[in-house]
Amino acid sequence: MDAPRRLPIHLSLTRPLLLAGAERELVLLNGTLIAALIFGVGVHWASLGMAVLLATVGHWGLAQAARHDPQLSRIYVRHIRYQEHYPARAAAAAPPGYVFPSVAD
């Protein structure tokens, strides 16, 4: 009998897509906010200071979050779509029910 076929799995297939160490979508959103501050508000010392703060501290925070979990934003978006409670159903083919939020929430 022949040995089973072995193929290498390249790291580029499993590595998350990061841009400068942070999630790509969040970095592009951060850059868009920086550009909107500079060009939309106008070149003023306050807008430039806020843009520099977003560029340094904001990107550092995004990189730290990506170091902890490279898919943090996607997981958060999926998390907020979940309902708080799923009621029991009689059969596996039963239609999913919607839970109405209570008045106390």
The phi and psi torsions of 40 (rounded to 5 degrees) equal -80, -45
pLDDT of residue 84: 84
Strand partners, 23: 18
For the stretch 21-76, pLDDT in tens is 999 999 999 999 999 999 998 888 999 999 999 999 999 999 999 999 999 999 99
Mean pLDDT within 88-100: 69
For the stretch 5-23, pLDDT in tens is 998 889 888 888 899 999 9
Residues in the chain: 105
User: Rounded to a whole number, what is the distance in angstroms from the first to the last CA of the chain?
Assistant: 65
pLDDT of 91 strictly over 70: no
Pairing of strands 18-19, 22-23: antiparallel
Question: Which among 58, 56, 73 has a CA at the least distance from the CA of 17?
Answer: 73
* Annotated domain spans of the chain: 19-81
